[in-house]
Amino acid sequence: MRGRDVLNVQYRIAHARARLYQELADAFEAPLPDWLRKPGSDNPLTEALVTAARELESPACLRALNQLANAPAQDLTQLRAHHARLLVGPGLPLVSPYESWHKDAQMSGSTSQEVAQWYEAYGAEPPAGELPDHMCIELAFLAYLYRQEAFALENEQAEDAEIWRKQAQRFLRKHPARWIPQVGETLAKQAGVVFGPLGELLAAFLREEAGLSRRTGSTVKKHKGFPVLAQPEACGLCSFCVQVCTTRALYISESNTETNLMLSPARCTGCGACTKTCPDDLLMLDARQPDGVVALRTSPRAICPSCGNVHVSEAEIEAVVARLEATGSLRQSLMYCVDCKARQGAGSRK
Ligand code: SF4
Ligand code: SF4
């Protein structure tokens, strides 16, 4: 192939990558592009994505796109509400779209600043009003880097083009490829007929791009498993496991009637810290990933026999009763809420 032909092929690939990253960024960003109303028929975006994926010879992407092509027509208002539940809130979304949340277990952590420095160093201006480590902004930044590569190739500046390509690959490996595929996989499993295949496409494309494809031998650390409770009824909801879980995969959720120990598998790194902390050795790691957020332990809230208010969970009371081997009046006194206990204590001192 002659020099000009090589540049043409490279240009087509850089251009295809830029389009695919940009379209993926747009597809996950509120208020959502109009084409999502008819993801299964005749939309120019799917056509563009198919062309791009073929250009990059990505069978996994093409498989995901075929699934998308089978999706029925959608009501855009409902789809927007669904998108909010998956990635935005209010309340806890299915999966967080922020890198900092996944890596630093908090919003706007050091990862967020690191990403912002990349944008600044390469002259990109992310939109105001959103954090720099949002999934769509990182994808749009990749699109920007590949557009710069394509532009350099169009102007026959092969050396400049190589610099842009290498920086795009570095950024991809350092940031998006380290966490967005997991977001994509969670969506693929739980996000329905539109965001499911889009999630699958996202995961497959980033993995292939970063050379992390399972097919070619993964460099991703093997996940050791997700916590399960050997005997749920023995768990006294002490929350020690919650306190050591740095990714907040484990958390307590409380309603007026119940206290739950919850697991969000999408956030679990399989580090095993929770299993080592449980004072009763009740937690162990299981390789099977639960389908979405699950309650590992559920206990009714206790009702104070004196004032009738709900207070701690029955599981917590039972755990204390068991530890103290409490019977009779001692057992009975543990059923009262803190205020009534204090009042009774004050009364008996008079
Ligand atoms: S293994 Fe346990 S501590 Fe580690 S991330 Fe998962 S739930 Fe949290
Ligand atoms: S699993 Fe163990 S550490 Fe976690 S709340 Fe239950 S008893 Fe406490």
**250 CB near ligand 2 (under 6 Å):** no
What distance in Å separates the CA atoms of residue 194 and residue 350, rounded to the nearest whole number?
68
What distance in Å separates the CA atoms of residue 144 and residue 22, rounded to the nearest whole number?
8
Tell me which amino acid residue 75 is. Answer: D
Residue nearest to atom 2 of ligand 1 (CA): 274
* Amino acid 47: pLDDT: 59
Quick one: tokens of 106? Answer: 């908090």
Q: Where are the domains of the chain?
A: 3-216, 226-349
Helix (H) / strand (E) containing 286: strand 283-286
What distance in Å separates the CA atoms of residue 237 and residue 313, rounded to the nearest whole number?
8
281 CA from centroid of ligand 1 (Å) = 14
* Amino acid 43: pLDDT: 59
**Torsions phi, psi for 255 (to 5 deg):** -115, -175
Helices (H), 28-157: 44-55, 59-69, 76-83, 99-103, 110-121, 135-154
What distance in Å separates the CA atoms of residue 341 and residue 333, rounded to the nearest whole number?
7
Instruction: Using the atom order of ligand 1, give the atom closest to the CA of residue 273.
Output: 3
* Amino acid 46: pLDDT: 65
Residue nearest to atom 8 of ligand 2 (CA): 238
What distance in Å separates the CA atoms of residue 207 and residue 201, rounded to the nearest whole number?
10
Residue nearest to atom 6 of ligand 2 (CA): 235
What distance in Å separates the CA atoms of residue 109 and residue 247, rounded to the nearest whole number?
13
Residue nearest to atom 5 of ligand 1 (CA): 268
* Amino acid 132: pLDDT: 94
Superfamily for domain range 3-216: TorD-like (1.10.3480.10)
CATH 3.30.70.20 assigned to domain 226-349? The reply is yes
CA 8, 14, 17: angle at the middle one, nearest 5? 140
Residue nearest to atom 3 of ligand 2 (CA): 278
* Amino acid 140: pLDDT: 95
Point out the ligand nearest to the CA of residue 274: 1
246 CA from centroid of ligand 2 (Å) = 15
- pLDDT tens per residue, range 72-119: 888 889 989 999 999 887 777 888 999 998 888 888 888 999 999 999
Query: What 8-state DSSP symbol labels residue 137?
Result: H
Instruction: Using the atom order of ligand 1, give the atom closest to the CA of residue 272.
Output: 1
DSSP helix/strand/coil, 83: helix
**Torsions phi, psi for 188 (to 5 deg):** -55, -35
329 CA from centroid of ligand 1 (Å) = 39
**Torsions phi, psi for 294 (to 5 deg):** -130, 155
* Amino acid 307: pLDDT: 94
Instruction: Using the atom order of ligand 1, give the atom closest to the CA of residue 271.
Output: 4
Query: What 8-state DSSP symbol labels residue 291?
Result: S
Which parts of the chain sit beneath pLDDT 50?
Answer: 1, 213-220, 349-350
Nearest Cα to 175, choosing from 248, 98, 265?
98
Point out the ligand nearest to the CA of residue 263: 1
* Amino acid 4: pLDDT: 62
Looking at the DSSP bridge assignments, the partners of residue 262 are: 251, 295
What distance in Å separates the CA atoms of residue 96 and residue 100, rounded to the nearest whole number?
9
Query: What 8-state DSSP symbol labels residue 210?
Result: T
Instruction: Using the atom order of ligand 1, give the atom closest to the CA of residue 224.
Output: 1
Nearest Cα to 140, choosing from 155, 119, 158, 160?
119
**251 CB near ligand 2 (under 6 Å):** no
- The CB density around residue 112, as the number of other CB atoms within 10 Å, is 20
CA distances, 98 to each of 147, 148, 247 (Å): 24, 25, 13
**25 CB near ligand 2 (under 6 Å):** no
238 CA from centroid of ligand 2 (Å) = 5
Question: pTM surpassing 0.85?
Answer: no
277 CA from centroid of ligand 1 (Å) = 11
**237 CB near ligand 2 (under 6 Å):** yes
Point out the ligand nearest to the CA of residue 236: 2
Residue nearest to atom 2 of ligand 2 (CA): 278
* Amino acid 105: pLDDT: 82
CB 209 within 8 A of CB 76: no
Point out the ligand nearest to the CA of residue 260: 2
